[in-house]
Structure 1
Amino acid sequence: MTNFSTVLLQAAQPQGGGLSMLIMMVLIIVVMYFFMIRPQQKKQKELAKFRSNLQKGDKIVTIGGIYGKIVDITEQYVTVDVGGDVRIKMDKSAILKDMSDAQTR
Structure 2
Amino acid sequence: MDPSYAMLIVMVVVIGGMMWWQSKKAKQQQAEKQDFRRNLKPGTEIITIGQVIGKVVEVDEQYEEIVIDSEGSKMRFSFNAIAREYTRPAYVSDDEVDENGNPLPDNADETPTDDAEAQKPIEGVTAEAETKSADNGETK
Scaled by the length of structure 1, what TM-score is found? Answer: 0.71
Equivalenced residues, count: 88
RCO higher in 1 or 2 (8 Å CA, sep ≥ 6)?
1
Encode CA deviations 1:21-67: one digit per residue, 9 max, x unaligned. 22331122113322x32222221111111001100111000000000
Structure with a larger share of its residues in strand: 1
Alignment partner of 2:40 out of 47, 54, 61: 54
Q: Which runs of 5+ in 1 are unaligned?
A: 1-14
Letter in 2 for 1:98: E
What is the root-mean-square deviation of aligned Cα atoms in Å? 2.1
Distance 1:60 1:23 in 2: 45
Alignment partner of 2:19 out of 18, 32, 55: 32
Letter in 2 for 1:60: I
Distance 1:104 1:18 in 2: 56
Give the corresponding residue for 1:23: 10
Q: Which runs of 5+ in 2 are unaligned?
A: 92-140
Give the corresponding residue for 1:45: 31
Which protein is bigger by CA-based radius of gyration? 2
Structure with a larger share of its residues in helix: 1
Give the corresponding residue for 1:7: none
SS at match of 1:57: coil
Give the corresponding residue for 2:51: 65
